[in-house]
């Protein structure tokens, strides 16, 4: 399998190099040159397999160079760290509605599902190539802790995580800043998540700096992150009767990584009815799916901070397909976005998107009400991100079963949850002393040169 850039001007790479490279050198994102196909029999053959075995089977065609047994060993190691034996268990809420619980990993959000595997893939590839890397990542709250957990104490990796100062919850911040390993560096940026993400992209696009520090990415601009998430769409659909029954998914969305994995599953042959992109008030994607116009707006802080994003990096991967994989079109769109704050796609491209995608926007009051309703009706406590997804599933009523992705454990967002249902959800046992642990982080202005100096000063080799 070769990987190509969405902007058409970077070299094609194999999986190992895509993993270490992150962002393509032309500023684009890597995507597979074609989509591996799963026949209906292949899909039926996944029924009843342990999650790690299904994962190895689904991921194998994307990862040439890694033997089947070796991959299975890695998926097993990655997913034994999950608190539920099913890894991503389904819970039925009502007729036709299910939650897919993606938060049983060590840092309590769905980011662990990909990151636990990614840490192991990095280790393998770095020792094979005898290289070291400096990972620089931006987080809106959950990627950071999941990446730190996956990379801490690994010899060949230094990791720097940028988060927006004062805009992540205390639990989210402490899950990052209380990891005191030598190779872990947290940076509070005086700005928004979009500022953090723009700084990381700018650092990547400074090719001299990028080479100097051997820079790599664990944000969902890294293809390996996205592909690891394809697995749970397929396994849960199969558990509910795919390929003989079409299911829909409702996906709380920020950077478009998780929902793009759902799109990839559909492109690989998983029968899917609707894929619902659910946003909070930061609704650039919702507006796009309504009108075909992708236009930046101000970021506002909400109860679902991991989705407080305006520029959704992974959306570029969908734009590339909607442009019939023409890198020149994507380059023009991205230039317009940077220079004029937005662009439009042709009506035919929007129509193509509507074959599978739907979108919904959920405001703060509806988010709170949904948490309260689910607690009252089902005795289940959901987090605000999950509530945004579920509200969309309930409001848009697709035909047939719909699976809402429960992306975070409610204990990560105790204030919002308590306000909505009166219960303060406790942290699981391995995190009960989180509030007593020592923290370490630096605070930096939103400035590329300052960030670069900071990284130069702290990385180990
Ligand atoms: C990251 C995150 C999201 C958004 O996922 P994207 O892949 O960025 O769209 C939703 N919910 C939670 C809890 C998250 O951590």
- The ligand 1 site (C-beta within 6 Å) comprises 109, 111, 142, 220, 252-259, 306-307, 385, 407-408
Kindly list the domain boundaries of the chain, sorted by start residue: 86-108+224-421
Q: Is the pLDDT of residue 393 over 70?
A: yes
Top-confidence residue, 354 or 65: 354
Catalytic site positions: 111
Lookup: tokens for 40 = 């209906």
Contacts of 119 (CB under 8 A, 6+ apart): 78, 150, 151, 154
DSSP H or E stretch at residue 40: helix 40-44
- What pLDDT does residue 218 have? 86
Secondary structure of residue 13 in the 3-state scheme = strand
Instruction: Determine the Cα–Cα distance for residues 28 and 331; give it in Å rounded to an integer.
Output: 8
For domain 86-108+224-421, give the CATH number. Answer: 3.40.50.1100
Name the residue of 109, 263, 283, 404 whose CB sits within 8 Å of the most ligand 1 atoms, as the mutation to test its pocket.
109
Q: Write the pLDDT tens digit of every residue in 196-218.
A: 999 999 999 999 999 999 999 88
- Mean of pLDDT over the chain: 96
Q: How far is the CA of 252 from the centre of ligand 1 (A)?
A: 7
Nearest one of 144, 16, 123 to 77, comparing CA atoms: 123
- What pLDDT does residue 165 have? 96
Ligand 1 atom 12: the closest Cα is on which residue?
Answer: 407
Top-confidence residue, 65 or 250: 250
447: buried, middle or exposed (CB in 10 Å: 19+, 13-18, 0-12)?
middle
Cβ count near 309 (within 10 Å) = 23
DSSP H or E stretch at residue 118: helix 111-129
DSSP assignment string, 396-434? H--SS-EEEEE-B-GGGSHHHHHHHHS--PPPPGGGTTG
Q: How far is the CA of 163 from the centre of ligand 1 (A)?
A: 14
Quote the DSSP letter at residue 274. E
Q: How far is the CA of 212 from the centre of ligand 1 (A)?
A: 31
The whole model's pTM is what? 0.95
Q: Is the pLDDT of residue 461 over 70?
A: no
Q: How far is the CA of 438 from the centre of ligand 1 (A)?
A: 27
Instruction: Determine the Cα–Cα distance for residues 363 and 278; give it in Å rounded to an integer.
Output: 11
Q: Write the pLDDT tens digit of every residue in 261-272.
A: 999 999 999 999
- What pLDDT does residue 140 have? 83
């Amino acid at each position: 399998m070769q990987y190509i850039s969405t902007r058409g001007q970077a070299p094609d790479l194999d999986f190992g190099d895509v993993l270490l490279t992150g962002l393509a050198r032309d500023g684009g994102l890597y995507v597979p040159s074609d989509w591996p196909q799963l026949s209906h029999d292949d899909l039926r053959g996944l029924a009843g397999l342990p999650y790690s075995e299904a994962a190895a089977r689904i991921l194998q065609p994307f990862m040439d160079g890694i033997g089947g047994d070796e991959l299975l060993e890695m998926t097993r190691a990655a997913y034994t760290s999950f608190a539920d034996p099913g890894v991503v268990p389904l819970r039925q809420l009502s007729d036709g509605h299910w939650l897919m619980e993606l938060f049983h990993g060590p840092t309590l959000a769905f980011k662990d599902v990909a990151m636990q595997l990614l840490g192991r893939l990095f280790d393998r590839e770095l020792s094979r190539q005898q290289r070291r890397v400096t990972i620089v990542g931006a987080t809106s709250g959950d990627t950071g802790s999941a990446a730190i957990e996956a990379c801490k104490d690994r010899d060949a990796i230094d990791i720097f995580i940028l988060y927006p100062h004062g805009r992540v919850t205390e639990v989210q911040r402490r899950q990052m800043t209380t990891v005191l390993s030598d190779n872990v560096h947290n940076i509070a940026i005086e700005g928004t998540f979009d500022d953090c993400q723009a700084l990381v992209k700018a650092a990547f696009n400074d090719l001299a700096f990028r080479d100097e520090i051997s820079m790599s990415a664990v944000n969902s601009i890294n293809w390996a992150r996205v592909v690891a998430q394809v697995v749970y769409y397929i396994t849960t659909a199969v558990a509910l009767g795919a390929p003989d029954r079409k299911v829909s998914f409702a996906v709380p969305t920020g950077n478009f990584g998780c929902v793009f994995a759902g799109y990839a599953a559909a492109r690989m042959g998983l029968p899917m009815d609707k894929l619902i992109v659910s946003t909070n008030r930061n609704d650039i994607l919702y507006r796009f799916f309504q009108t075909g116009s992708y236009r930046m707006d101000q970021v506002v802080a909400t109860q679902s901070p991991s989705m407080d994003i305006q520029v959704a990096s992974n959306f570029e991967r969908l734009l590339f397909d909607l442009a019939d994989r023409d890198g020149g079109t994507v380059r023009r769109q991205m230039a317009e976005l940077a220079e004029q704050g937005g662009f439009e796609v042709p009506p035919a491209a929007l129509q193509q998107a509507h074959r599978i995608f739907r979108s919904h926007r959920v405001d703060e009051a509806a988010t709170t009400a949904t948490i309260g309703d689910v607690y009252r009706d089902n005795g289940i406590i959901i987090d605000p991100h999950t509530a945004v997804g579920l509200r969309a599933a309930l409001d848009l009523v697709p035909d047939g079963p719909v699976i809402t992705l429960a992306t975070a454990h409610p204990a990560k967002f105790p204030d919002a949850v308590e306000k909505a249902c009166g219960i303060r959800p406790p942290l699981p046992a391995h995190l009960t002393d989180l509030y007593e642990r020592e923290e370490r982080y630096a605070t930096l202005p939103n400035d590329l040169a300052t960030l670069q100096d900071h990284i130069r000063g702290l990385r180990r080799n």
